[in-house]
Structure 1
C-alpha cells in the first residue's frame, strides 16, 4: 500500500521528471510529460524521438521507473500513456 496520497506525490514526481529524467531523454531528442497521478500510478507520456523508438520500453523501465521508485517509493507504478489515450487514463 502506498503511504502517500496522490497530492503528496505530485511535487517529488514532477521534480524528478523535470530535473533528472527529461534532460536525459532530451539528449537523444526525446521528451516526457507527467499527465497525472492516480492511486499511486504515475501516468506519463513519452514524446519526441521516444515515440515509436524500439528502446522506449527500456527507457520507461530502466530510466523513468528506476528513478521514481528509488527516490520515492518502490511500489509506484509507472504507466506510459499511448498517444490519443490522454483522456482515458482509467482504461489503462
Structure 2
C-alpha cells in the first residue's frame, strides 16, 4: 500500500508525462487533490474550452495516471 505522499508523487509523474502534449495545444493541467483514490485536476488555458477535453481527460490523463498509480479509480475535472 502506497503512502499518500508516494501516491501524489506518482500522480505528479503521470501529469509531467502528459503535460507537454497539453502545452503544445496551448493548455496545461494542475493537480488539485487526491481524495479516496479520485484525482481532481483543473484543465487550464486552451484546454478549458476545448471540445475534446473530456476525451483527453479520460483517454489521456486518466489512462496515464492509472499506469503510474493503478489504485486510482477516476480522474475528474474541477473548475
User: TM range, normalised to the smaller chain?
Assistant: 0.7 to 0.9
For residues 13 and 61 of structure 1, the distance between their equivalents in structure 2, rounded to whole angstroms, comes to 14
Q: Which runs of 5+ in 2 are unaligned?
A: none
Alpha-carbon contact 1:25-1:31 (below 8 Å) kept? yes
Cα gap change, 1:75/1:68 in structure 2, threshold over 3 Å: closer, same or farther? same
> Could you report, residue by residue, the CA deviation over 1:16-60 in whole angstroms, capped at 9, with x for unpaired residues?
102x11111001101000011111111100000001111100110
By relative contact order (CA 8 Å, sep 6+), the higher-ranking structure is 2
Say how many residue pairs are matched.
Answer: 79
1:52 to 43, 49, 52: 49
Whichever of the two has the greater Rg, that structure is 1
Per the normalisation by structure 2, the TM-score is 0.88
- The one of 4, 24, 28 aligned to 1:27: 24
Give the corresponding residue for 2:11.
13
Structure 1 unaligned residues grouped into runs of 5+: 83-92
Which has more helix, going by share of residues? Answer: 2
Report the equivalent of 1:89.
Answer: none
